[in-house]
Amino acid sequence: MAGKAFDRLVSIMNRLRQPDGCPWDQEQTHRSLRRYLLEETYEVLETLDNEDFSELKEELGDLLLQVVFHAQLAKEEGVFTIEDVIEGINAKLIRRHPNVFGDAVIDTAEEQTRNWELLKKEEGRSSAIQGVPKELPALLLAWRIQQKAAQVGFDWDDIADVWAKVEEELNELKEAAQSGNPDE
């Protein structure tokens, strides 16, 4: 398993951040590392697009380094540790797969997707689009919002139905404005 190799990576990152470690690594912050996290993510996507699986191994390593780096910074700040990150994702995967780790019956990928979104909502997401990163490029952001909206039935095949929904929502907005109750 990856346990020893992963522990070594965490140890190396810790060593780089020590006073006698690497000056560049010591100067980094969550904010200064943002561009590297994004760059490494795009490099992973490019290797997937190119189906270059030998390069994918290296790029995934670079992306993993970013996760470990941010976790090291958080540990130094007393916010959380890499163990907390791992335990959090373990708990989330178990919680969101009740068909595997519980008694729920889910037969299709579509049912799993709907159930995943339902569980996210139960976990405190008040909106179907909550959690879609605002930093996404505009076209990708629009696509993700539409994808999320479609999962909750906000999708139509006919433009006339779209306009009918827009008019319905506009009328609701007008009624709320006239009543003076913004929560309506």
pLDDT digits (tens, 9 = 90+) for 113-166: 888 878 877 777 666 677 777 777 888 778 777 877 777 777 778 888 888 888
Domain endpoint, select from 59, 88, 117:
88
- Residue 169 tokens read as 């929502």
In a domain, 184, yes or no: no
Residues 145 and 72 in one domain: no
The CATH number given to whatever domain includes residue 13 is: 1.10.287.1080
Helix axes 30-49, 53-77, angle to 10 degrees: 160
Residue 184: what pLDDT?
Answer: 58
Closest CA to 90 of 106, 79, 75, 101: 101
pTM: 0.71
In a domain, 24, yes or no: yes
Domain that holds residue 26: 3-88
Residue 113: what pLDDT?
Answer: 83
For residue range 46-89, what is the model confidence (pLDDT) as tens digits?
Answer: 999 999 999 999 999 999 999 999 999 999 999 999 999 999 99
In a domain, 29, yes or no: yes
